[in-house]
Amino acid sequence: MGPVPSIDTASRESKSLSRKRINLGKRGEEVAAAYLRAKGYRIEARNYRQKTGEIDIICKDGDTHVFVEVKTRQHCEFGHPTEAVTRRKQMQISRTALLYLNIEELLDTPVRFDVIGVILKESVPEISHIVGAFEAE
């Protein structure tokens, strides 16, 4: 049996993995934002934060405000990225969207909740866009 890694080594490896996940997520959000712009959506906000949580992308599709959750993976070995949006996450997004609409005085505006899954392969990213993926809680 070999030497046990020190706590410092394990901590550094954990931080490195966290940075890689954050970078992967940011790259996926960039791909998703470019995809939405190409489809004619107007980006209103990115990484919108409130005490209730964060929304990756807020955009407009015509007169409809669209709240988009982006999930990014390098492969589908553990399931498709869109499958990672849990009911709890949907509730968090719904609450944060309601705060956004309140603050911006847009409560009478039509809204929609979309999910975009991005698989970052070696060359061209694979994008899955689920329009109206869930209803507000």
Q: 7-134 in CATH: which number?
A: 3.40.1350.10
Q: What is the pTM of this model?
A: 0.83
The sheet that has 53-61: what strands, in order across it? 42-50, 53-61, 64-73, 111-119, 126-134
| Tens-digit pLDDT profile for residues 49-97 | 999 999 999 999 999 999 999 999 988 888 899 999 999 999 999 999 9
pLDDT (tens digit per residue) in 87-132 = 999 999 999 999 999 999 999 999 999 999 999 987 789 999 999 9
